[in-house]
Structure 1
Amino acid sequence: MKSILKKSMSLLLVLGLTASVAVGCGSEPASQPAQESTAGSAASTEASGSTGGTKEFANKELNIAVFQGAYGRDFWDALAQKFMEQYPGTKINITANPKLGEMIKPSIVSGNPPDFIYLNDGDPSGVTKGLIKDKAIMDISDIFDSKALDKDSNIRDLILPGFLETPYCSPYDDGKIYLAPYNYGVMGLWYNKAYFDQKGYTAPKTWDEFFALNEKAKADGRALFTYQGIYPGYLEEVLIPAVYAAGGQQAVDDFTSYKEGFWKSEAAKKTLDIFSKIAGTDNALMKGTVALNHTQAQTAFMQGKSMFCVNGSWFEGEMKDAPREDGFQFGFAGVPGFNAGDPTIALVSVEQMYIPSKSKNPELAKEFMKFIYTDTAVRLNGEKAKAVMAVKGATEMVKEYITPSAYNCYKAVEDGMKPVVASLKPVANGSKINISDEIYKPFSSIMNKQMTVEEYADKLEKVYAQVRDELAKAQ
C-alpha cells in the first residue's frame, strides 16, 4: 500500500555510475537488494541547471542515507552525478537499503547519523518518528527562505500550497520546517471513465450525488463501491477528506491531534454517516469486499463489479497487467463535498527528507537539498523514478514519464482540486497503541454491520483519551 498508510493520501514512493543511491515509498516492497556504496568525486563542471558551481565548502564529503523501494534507484544515481558535476571535488557516500531505518539506527544512537536522510515517518523502524519525538532533526526553514538555485524566487514559493505547514514538514507547531517534501501521492475515488462517458454519467461532486448513482449502478449490474477489504486503512482516503469537507482544516487538526470530543463532533458524525450509509444501503458495498485484499478488490473494480474504488495516483501502474472490462479507462473523481459548490477534495501524502541535528556536514547537506528542487532534478525524478515532486509545475515537467491517469489526478490538484494533507501526530514514546490500527481496523466491523458508527465513536474517544494521557505523562 502507498497510502498515508499511506498511504493516505498514498504513496507510496535499484550502476554504472560511481555514485550509488536508492529511492522508494516506505510502504512498498523493494525491488532490488540492499546496497551501501561510495560516490567518487566528479570531474566534469558542465552546467546542470543549477548555479552552485562557484560555491566552496570546507567539507566536501557528504554521507547520504536513502530508503530503497519501489521508485528504483536511478534517480538518486543520476542526481548524485549531476550534483558532483556542478560542485567539483565533492564526494557523496550513499547508504541504500530496503530496511534503511534498521541499518542506520546504530549510527544514530551512537551520535554519528548520516548527513542527509530520505525516510518517511511511517517507516516500521520508527527511526524518523523517534528523531521527531527527540527533536533531533535540524531546522531547515532557511533552505525554503533562500533563493532557488535555478530561478529568481525563494524555494518556499516553489512548493505546492499546504505542504510545508503540515505535521509532515512542521511537526512542532512552532512555524519552522524540519522535514522537506519529496514525492507526493494523490488519493481519492476512482471510476471507469469510458463506462461513465458511455452512460452519460458524471463523477459526483457531493455525497448526495454519489449515493444517487447507486440505483444506476444496480441497474447496470454493479455495486456502488468497493475498497481493499483486509486493508481498511485505505478508507482514510475517504475519511480524511470527508472530515475536511465537514469541518475544515480545524476538524482535520482535531482528528490528527487527538482532541477530546472529536469523535462526537458534528464533523465526525457527518463523516461516519457516509460509512454507515455504505454499510446499510443495498448494493452500496460490493459483496465480499471485507474479505478481499487490495489486488482482488481493485481487479473486481476494473472488471466492472463496482462503480467506485479508493486508491492513489499509482493505481494504473500498479494494476497494469490486471484483467479489466473492455475499454476500461482510469478516471479520478477525488472525494465529494457535502454541499453543492463545495470543492472536490484529494487526500495527499508526501515523502520526507531531512538533516539530523548531529549531521557532520549540514552546509553541504542543505545545498544538496536545494539542488533537489531545481527543474533539472524535478525532471530527472520524473524520468528515472516515474514520480512527481511536491513542486509547482512538476506535473507538466514530468508528463511524458508518468501514466495518463497519474498525470490527470496530479493535474487536478495543481488546477484547483483541494489537496488535504494530514498526518497523525506521534503517540508517546513507548506507547503500545498502534493508532492507525485503532482508527481503521474497526471499519471492517462497521462494514459487516457488527459495529455501529456510534459504538465506533465511543471506542475512539477512549483511545484518544489514552493517547492524550500518555502524551501528558511523557512530558
Structure 2
Amino acid sequence: MGFTSEFGRRDLVKRTAAIGLISVPTMTALSACATGGGDDTKQVEKGKKSAKNPLAVNESAGLDVVIFDGGFGDEYAKAAQAEYVKAFPKTDGKIKHSATQKIQAKLAPRFNGGTPPDLIDNSGAEQMDFGTLVSKDQLTDLRELLDAPSLDDPNKKVRDTLRSGVLEMGQFEGEEVWVLYYAYTIYGVWYSKSLLAKHGWEYPQTWDEMLKLCAEAKKQGIAGWTYPGKYPYYLPFSLYPFIAKIGGRETLDAIDNLEPNAWKHDAVKAAFEAYHELQAKGYILKGTPGLDHIQSQVAWNEGKALFIPNGSWVENETKKTTPKNFDMGVGAPSSLDSGDKLPYGTIWASGGEPFIVPKNAKNPRGGMELLRIMLGTKSTQNFIQQVSSLSSLNGGTEGLRLPPGLASAQELWKKAGDNVVNPRLQDWYVTLQKEKIGVAALGEMMAGRMSPKECMAKCQKFADETAKDSAVKKYRHK
C-alpha cells in the first residue's frame, strides 16, 4: 500500500519542542510442548440432545471454569454458573470455579499436560496468545454454539443475537470461530463531566481545542492527561481510532496486516506528533510513566488529570475511588483537522473478555452451554448491572438504569453508527502489541525518551520482525 496523502494540520503539530516494564508471556512453553491433538483426551460422554439441551450437554458432568479476575471481577460468571446448575441439577457441587490474574502461568502447564479447563476467560496482561493457541490446534470451534438456538428465543440462533463484529473477532482464518468475546467494550478518552462543567469547559472536538483546554487546565494546576505508564499499551485505546480517523480504516488494516510501511503512514506520523505534543508541553500528569493502571485511574478520579485513555470497564474498576458527583463520561478522539478521512465521533468499539473452550477440555459442551447461558438476557442484565459494561448480546439494557459512564459509552456508540473501528493487532499479535509497540515504543515516546520519528521507526521494526518470524502465525483482514 502506498502512503502519499497529506494532511493540513500535520505540519502545525511540529510546533512542539520540535509496564516498570511488564513482561507479556509468549507461551513458548505451550508452543514447545502442545501437540494439538485430542486423541487421548477422556472427554465426558455426550448427553441427550433436546430443545432444552441443544448442545447435548452431559447433564451430570462437572464443569471447570477459570475467569480472569480483572476489572469485571468474577461474580457475573458465578451467577451464570448458578443458572447452569438450575438447568442441570445433577451438576450441583460439581462446578469448579477459579479466578486469577495469572492466566498464562496457571494454565499453560494444564494445556501442556492435556488437562485444560472447560471454559476460560483468557484476558489481562498475562493472557495466552490466541495466535499460538489457534495455530497449535488447542481450541474448540464454537460454531456449534453459534448455530444453536439462543436462550431467550429458540427461533434465533446465538450468532444472530450478537453485536456487529463480535463473531468476526473470533475468526483467524477460514470460517471457524475460536474465541467468543463476551463483553462489548467502548474505548475512548474518559473524563469527569462535572469537573469540566465546574470550570466551564467542554469536551474538545478538535486537537487545537484539546491543546487549548490542556493549557487552561495547567494554569489551574490540573494535568490534561494521565495513563498507565507501566502499561502504556492503554494509549492505543484512543490513539488507534485517532489514527484511523485521520487516515481512514485502511491505515489500521495495514498495521494489522504487518505491511512493510504501515507505521510510516502520514496519519501515524500526525497522531504520534499530536500525542507527543501533550508530553512536550507538560500536559501529562507528572510521574505518569511510573503509574500502573489503578494508580493512574485513582489520580484521574481525584481530579489531578482531565483525561485518561481507557475502555468501558474503567467505571467498574474505579468504583471504590470514584467520587459520587464525578459523572463519568467518554469522548471520541478529537478531530485533527478538516482533512480527516473519518468524521468526529469515530470510535474503537469491540468485543472484550475473550472466552475460549479448549479442544482437550474434559467437558467442552458444558463450556459452550455456559456461554449460551451467559448470552441470555438474564445473565447479560446481571453482567451490565454488576460491572457497568455492555455485553456482546445485542440488547439487554432495556429497563435498566445505566450508571453515568456506561450510559455515556452507549450514547457514544449509538452516535458513531458505522464509524466504528476494530484494530486486530491486540488479539492477533499479543506480544507485539503490548510488550513491543505498547511498552518499548509508545511508552518511551510518551515518557519523553523517544521522538515521534524514532517511535514510528521502532514500531515498524517490531512489526517487520514479527512478519519475518516463521514461528508466529500470520493473519490478515479479508
> Shorter-normalised TM-score: what interval?
0.7 to 0.9
The AA in structure 1 aligned to 2:412 is A
Give the structure, 1 or 2, with the largest relative contact order (CA under 8 Å, sep 6 or more): 2
1:144 and 2:146 aligned: yes
TM-score, normalised to structure 1's length?
A: 0.75
Provide the residue aligned with 1:33 in structure 2.
Answer: none
Q: How does 1:186-335 map to 2 (within 5 A)?
A: 186-280=186-280, 282-322=281-321, 328-335=326-333
Shift of 1:349: 5.5
Provide the residue aligned with 1:464 in structure 2.
Answer: 463
User: Is the alpha carbon distance of 1:154 and 1:323 closer, same or farther for their aligned partners in structure 2, counting shifts above 3 Å?
Assistant: closer
Shift of 1:327: 5.2
SS at match of 2:267: helix
The AA in structure 2 aligned to 1:202 is E
Contact kept, 8 Å, 1:188 with 1:311, in 2: the verdict is: yes
Provide the residue aligned with 1:82 in structure 2.
Answer: 83
Provide the residue aligned with 1:421 in structure 2.
Answer: 422
Deviations 1:52-100 (A, max 9, x none): 5366947332533222514444333332232232345456542424245
Shift of 1:364: 4.3
CA distance in 1, matches of 2:77, 2:426: 29
Contact kept, 8 Å, 1:53 with 1:88, in 2: the verdict is: no
CA distance in 2, matches of 1:182, 1:78: 15
TM-score, normalised to structure 2's length?
A: 0.74
CA distance in 2, matches of 1:198, 1:185: 28
Provide the residue aligned with 2:436 in structure 1.
Answer: 438
Q: How does 1:47-196 map to 2 (within 5 A)?
A: 52-53=51-52, 57=56, 59-60=58-59, 61-70=61-70, 71-87=72-88, 89-90=90-91, 92-98=94-100, 99=102, 101-114=104-117, 116-120=118-122, 124=126, 126=128, 130-151=132-153, 152-166=155-169, 169-170=170-171, 172-196=172-196
CA distance in 1, matches of 2:306, 2:175: 42
Provide the residue aligned with 2:345 in structure 1.
Answer: 343
User: Is the alpha carbon distance of 1:385 and 1:317 closer, same or farther for their aligned partners in structure 2, counting shifts above 3 Å?
Assistant: closer
Task: Give me the CA root mean square deviation.
Answer: 3.6
SS at match of 1:67: strand
CA distance in 2, matches of 1:327, 1:382: 21
Q: Across the two proteins, how many residue pairs are aligned to each other? A: 417
The AA in structure 2 aligned to 1:330 is M
Give percent identity, aligned residues only: 23
Shift of 1:110: 3.6
CA distance in 2, matches of 1:422, 1:89: 43
SS at match of 1:343: coil
Provide the residue aligned with 1:36 in structure 2.
Answer: none
Shift of 1:453: 0.9
The AA in structure 2 aligned to 1:284 is Y
User: Is the alpha carbon distance of 1:439 and 1:106 closer, same or farther for their aligned partners in structure 2, counting shifts above 3 Å?
Assistant: closer
Contact kept, 8 Å, 1:214 with 1:283, in 2: the verdict is: no
Gaps of 5+ in 1: 7-50
CA distance in 2, matches of 1:383, 1:347: 20
Gaps of 5+ in 2: 1-18, 25-49
Shift of 1:467: 1.1
User: Is the alpha carbon distance of 1:134 and 1:337 closer, same or farther for their aligned partners in structure 2, counting shifts above 3 Å?
Assistant: farther
Shift of 1:261: 0.7
User: Is the alpha carbon distance of 1:105 and 1:271 closer, same or farther for their aligned partners in structure 2, counting shifts above 3 Å?
Assistant: same
Shift of 1:176: 3.0
The AA in structure 1 aligned to 2:375 is Y
User: Is the alpha carbon distance of 1:205 and 1:141 closer, same or farther for their aligned partners in structure 2, counting shifts above 3 Å?
Assistant: farther
CA distance in 1, matches of 2:469, 2:436: 16
